[in-house]
A and B are shown apart, each in its own frame.
Chain A
């Protein structure tokens, strides 16, 4: 139980002190980190295992006549038990801190760029504003179908559902005007064949 508390304190205090040093941006913050450093040192000295320098000698087995005829090696046992425990705990703490750093909000930028979180895709423009790449503009999905290269010129577009729009281009004035319909692009009176008589307007008024 005592060891568990020591290791727990070691992890908490060390994390706090290192975070304090790394995150210090002003002199008072750095001073606070320096003040708390001995706490981490205290638990560090408790946790770091001492190197076992004891030499294992073979046991001399005395016989009745006093002569040594056999040497028996002493069982070494688990002499590095503390070190193993320490390494396990240090490894666990390291993995925990690593995972924690990945899933905090600030770390997302480093690992995922502008993606704010799993399952959501967004991009940022040059000003830093989040834009949705999946947004649909009114003319998305339309492909050109007909072209009348006279003056003014007409461009007919349809989509897969049969909706259409015609763009009228007046090369002399530089005007672009639009007319649209939900179906029947080839209708003789309301569609492409009667394009010259259709009512055209600005893009924002039509769509």
Chain B
């Protein structure tokens, strides 16, 4: 479970880095950059969590969170199904 948690953290960190960097690189004008600043705490948090993980301390453990994961999976399925049917051909 620790391995799964670590992979999960690394994936989220990667996405957060992509989100922050691509947002700052592609946004134009002061307003666009200011909007991207909102996502900066997400990026910084994952950097911090990543450093903790590299030191051997995980920020989030998936142990004992089976019910939450099941609920999240159900929400995910509902969202994906509804969105799929709304896609324009």
Contact = CB atoms under 8 A, between A and B. Distances in A.
B42 A12 contact: yes
Contacts of A6: 45
B45 A45 contact: no
**Chain B binding surface SS class:** helix
A159 interface: no
A22 B80 CA distance: 9
B80 to A, nearest CB: 7
Contacts of B53: none
A25 to B, nearest CB: 5
The SS class assigned to the A binding surface is helix
A121 B30 CA distance: 35
A45 to B, nearest CB: 6
Contacts of B25: none
Interface in B2-50: 8-9, 11-12, 15-16, 19, 38-39, 41-42, 44-45
Interface stretch (A34-42, A77-85, A127-135, A183-191): A34-42
Interface in A34-83: 34-39, 41-42, 44-46, 48, 50
A39 B83 contact: no
Interface of B: 8-9, 11-12, 15-16, 19, 38-39, 41-42, 44-45, 59-60, 62, 64-65, 68-69, 72, 76, 79-80, 82-84, 86-88
Q: Which 9 interchain pairs have the tightest Cβ spacing? A: A21-B79, A42-B12, A24-B83, A21-B83, A9-B42, A25-B88, A41-B72, A30-B83, A39-B12
